C-alpha cells in the first residue's frame, strides 16, 4: 500500500525538506488512491547506473503504464519517484533538496534525461536516425527505434519534419500507399503505416492462395541455402 513500509522515492524526502513536504502534502489524499497504488506497484524499478539503454527502457515502460490511467501530474511524479532506487533515488533526493522538484511528468523526464543520457549518446542516436530504415522489420519495430532516436536524441524539429523522416525510412510499398493519405501527427502516420502494412500482407496472402505457383520471397531465399 502507498505510504507504508520502507521509505523509497519521494516518500523518503518528507523529512527535513520544506518544499518536498509542501509538494507531497498538497495531494496527501491522492496517496490513498487505489489506482495510484496499483500503478506504483506495476512500475519497474530504476537503479540509475548511468546506462542510457537502461534509462530509455525504463522511461518507455513507465510511459506505457501511465498511458493506461488518468492520473494527475503529481501522481505521475510520485509513482515514478517511488520506482527510483540506489543511484536514481539519490539523484531524486538531490533534486528535491535543491528545491528543483518538477511540476509535471514532462519536467521529470527532462531532468532525468539530462542526467542519464549524455551528449555523446544523443549524437549517436541522431546519427542512427539519419540512416534508419524499415528494411525487413514490421512497421511497429521500425517505429519503436525511430521513436527512441527522436525522443532521446534531441531531434528538435517540427512535426512535419519528424513525419517526413519517418516516411523516408518506410519500405517503398508502404510509402506508396501513404502518398495520398492525410495526417497531422506522427502517431496518426504510424497507425496509417500499420494499416497499409496489413493491406500488403493480406494482398500477398490472397495472391498466394489463388496462385499455386506463387512463392514468397522468404521461401525462395531458404531454398537456396
The whole domain housing 58 covers 9-116
128 burial class (0-12, 13-18, 19+ CB within 10 angstroms)?
middle
Given 116, 132, 158, which residue is the final one in a domain?
A: 116
Given 82, 100, 116, which residue is the final one in a domain?
A: 116
Given 116, 148, 183, which residue is the final one in a domain?
A: 116
pTM of the entire structure? Answer: 0.75
Based on the domain organization, do 80 and 129 belong to the same domain?
Answer: no
Phi and psi at 14, nearest 5°, equal: -70, -15
Based on the domain organization, do 130 and 83 belong to the same domain?
Answer: no
Based on the domain organization, do 65 and 27 belong to the same domain?
Answer: yes
User: Distance (Å, rounded) from C-alpha 145 to C-alpha 164?
Assistant: 16
User: Distance (Å, rounded) from C-alpha 30 to C-alpha 207?
Assistant: 57
Residues near 175 by beta carbon (within 8 Å), at least 6 away in sequence: 167
Based on the domain organization, do 159 and 182 belong to the same domain?
Answer: yes
Query: Residue 125 CA to chain centroid, in angstroms?
Result: 15
Based on the domain organization, do 111 and 152 belong to the same domain?
Answer: no
Based on the domain organization, do 127 and 44 belong to the same domain?
Answer: no
Per-residue confidence (pLDDT) for residue 203, from 0 to 100: 87
> CA angle at residue 11 from 10 to 12, to 5 degrees?
90
Q: Running along the chain, 225 residues long, what does each successive block of 10 average in pLDDT?
A: 39 39 47 76 93 96 94 93 94 92 95 95 96 96 97 93 97 96 96 96 79 50 42
Per-residue confidence (pLDDT) for residue 99, from 0 to 100: 87
H or E element: which one contains 93? helix 86-97
Question: How is residue 130 written as a grid cell?
Answer: 539519419
Largest Cα–Cα distance of the chain, in whole Å? 77
User: Distance (Å, rounded) from C-alpha 180 to C-alpha 49?
Assistant: 46
DSSP state of 19: H
Per-residue confidence (pLDDT) for residue 12, from 0 to 100: 38
Based on the domain organization, do 111 and 162 belong to the same domain?
Answer: no
For residue 150, count other CB atoms closer than 10 A to its CB: 20
User: Distance (Å, rounded) from C-alpha 17 to C-alpha 119?
Assistant: 32
Amino acid at each position: 500500500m502507498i505510504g507504508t513500509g520502507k521509505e523509497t522515492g519521494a516518500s523518503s524526502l518528507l523529512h527535513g525538506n520544506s518544499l518536498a513536504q509542501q509538494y507531497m502534502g498538497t495531494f496527501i489524499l491522492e496517496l490513498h488512491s487505489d489506482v495510484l497504488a496499483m500503478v506504483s506497484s506495476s512500475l519497474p524499478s530504476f537503479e540509475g547506473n548511468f546506462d542510457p539503454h537502461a534509462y530509455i527502457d525504463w522511461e518507455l515502460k513507465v510511459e506505457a503504464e501511465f498511458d493506461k490511467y488518468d492520473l494527475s501530474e503529481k501522481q505521475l511524479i510520485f509513482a515514478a519517484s517511488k520506482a527510483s532506487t540506489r543511484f536514481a533515488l539519490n539523484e531524486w533526493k538531490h533534486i528535491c533538496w535543491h528545491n528543483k522538484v518538477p511540476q509535471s511528468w514532462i519536467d521529470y523526464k527532462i531532468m532525468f534525461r539530462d542526467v542519464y543520457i549524455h551528449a555523446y549518446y544523443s549524437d549517436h542516436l541522431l546519427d542512427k536516425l539519419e540512416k534508419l530504415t524499415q528494411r525487413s522489420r514490421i512497421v511497429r519495430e521500425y517505429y519503436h527505434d525511430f521513436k527512441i532516436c527522436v525522443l532521446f536524441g534531441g531531434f528538435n524539429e517540427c512535426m512535419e519534419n519528424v513525419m517526413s523522416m519517418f516516411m523516408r525510412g518506410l519500405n517503398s510499398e508502404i510509402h506508396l500507399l501513404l502518398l495520398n493519405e492525410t495526417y497531422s501527427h506522427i502517431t496518426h502516420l504510424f497507425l496509417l503505416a500499420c494499416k497499409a502494412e496489413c493491406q500488403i500482407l493480406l494482398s500477398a496472402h490472397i495472391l498466394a492462395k489463388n496462385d499455386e505457383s506463387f512463392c514468397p520471397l522468404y521461401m525462395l531465399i531458404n531454398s537456396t541455402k
